[in-house]
Structure 1
Amino acid sequence: MASRQVVRGIRTGGRSARVREAVHAAVLAELVDRGYAALTVEGVAGRAGVNKTTVYRRWATLDDLLVDALTAWSFEALPAPDSGSIETDLHALGRSLAAQLNDGIGRAIAGAVLTAGLRSPQLAEATRRYFEQQAIRATPIVARAVERSELPADTDPDALLGTFRAPLFARMVTTGDPIDDALVARSVRVTLLAARDGLLSG
């Protein structure tokens, strides 16, 4: 199901862009410092230095705002590689994801979202919509691999991305050990074997 538009009435550049950036930063900071349960539009607006009506004019709900902030953050933190090889692309994506999950704000955000999603239906829905956006980003990577005959034509980008990142998130939330190159390489091999055997078809 396609995600609905969550950002309304935002012009590119100028004050609107600065407000959006400040609000996004405030959302992530509040999520890390206070957790989803304590996340409020008032708290975000106060940290961003804007009025809460400014926030509501742009985002219909708090979860819309959270999804938009997480999506914007991931676009900056996680590139969509285009190396000419699906194997190399997945290695690059895995290294970028590992860098975010091993430390810093990325680890804090992922931990807060993944664990809070188990307790909050609202955050679980927001998290689902966020991962839908990630699958949309993966579609061109898979499409190019299909064009190069590296993957079957019916490979599902969502299934491929989910299979690939699952071991990385699993290590973070179970043992907390660093995600190293060996784990990324193993995830790449397993994912490509599954895809080429037709197990990740749409």
Structure 2
Amino acid sequence: MTHAETTQRPGGRSARVREAVHQAVLDVVIDEGVDKVGIPEISRRAGVRNSSIYRRWGTRENLLIDALLSASERELPVPDTGSLHGDLSTFASNLIAYLDTPLGDGLARTLASISDSEETRSAREAFWTGRLQAVLPMITRAIERGELPPDTDGRTLIELVIAPIHFRHLLTREHVDHAFASSLAATAIQAVRTAPSVSPPR
């Protein structure tokens, strides 16, 4: 066995374990719902010891968020339509469709319902930081095209688009569709374009 093989095998096994555990989580969410995800069941389905799962993820909540974040990154690619409104409305439409799936609904409910602790706060923060970093290129491209002011707060713009979608999905259960997504995108863009600049405190 070569040195390259010995150095690559642990990483390869680690990746396989993560993939198997993630798939087991997604299978349980799809088959039985997010509330049924438990580490003993995930261990059985993935063929991975309980102790290995606890050592890597620490808690059920951390495992759920990691698996569902990975799934959302695959299911919610960042669009590049050539315009900011096109990007935001497409992203919003894709989010609406994703939240109507067992995985998307499970993710939203997990993030909304997990109890506050140091570990869960860190997991929640890591999730939203990761999602924000993934979608910020839409804002960067728009600034480069001259569609937005250079000092645009990208996080605020993204939140203006996605917050009403999550609100309707989790709380009011109102109907949302592509027309709603397009309207949200237009309203959010107008809001950040017209927002007064705030001078830094002296």
TM-score, scaled to structure 1: 0.78
Letter of the 1:45 counterpart: S
Deviations 1:71-106 (A, max 9, x none): 211110101112221111111111111111123332
Q: 1:154 aligns with which of 145, 151, 154?
A: 151
**Greater mean alpha carbon deviation, residues 101-110 or residues 87-96:** 101-110
Distance 1:165 1:73, change over 3 A: same
2:82 and 2:149 map into 1 onto residues whose CA distance is 16
1:10 and 1:159 map into 2 onto residues whose CA distance is 41
Distance 1:58 1:108, change over 3 A: closer
Aligned match of 1:66:
64
Flag as ranges the 4+ runs of structure 1 deviating above 6 A.
none
| Bigger fraction of residues in helix | 2
**Greater mean alpha carbon deviation, residues 69-78 or residues 49-58:** 49-58
Aligned match of 1:90:
88
The alpha-carbon deviation at position 112 of structure 1 amounts to: 3.7
How many aligned positions are there? 187
Q: 2:111 aligns with which of 97, 110, 113?
A: 113
The structure with the larger Rg is 2
2:127 and 2:166 map into 1 onto residues whose CA distance is 15
Q: Is the 8 A contact 2:34 2:110 kept in 1?
A: yes
Deviations 1:11-43 (A, max 9, x none): 3xx54333212211223445564646x754333
Q: Is the 8 A contact 1:101 1:172 kept in 2?
A: yes
- Percentage identity across paired residues of the two chains: 34
Aligned pairs for 1:9-20 within 5 A:
11=11, 14-20=12-18
Deviations 1:172-197 (A, max 9, x none): 11232342112101210111011112
2:174 and 2:151 map into 1 onto residues whose CA distance is 35
TM-score, scaled to structure 2: 0.78
CA RMSD of aligned residues (A): 2.8
Gaps of 5+ in 2: 1-8
1:15 and 1:199 map into 2 onto residues whose CA distance is 52
Q: Is the 8 A contact 1:168 1:183 kept in 2?
A: no
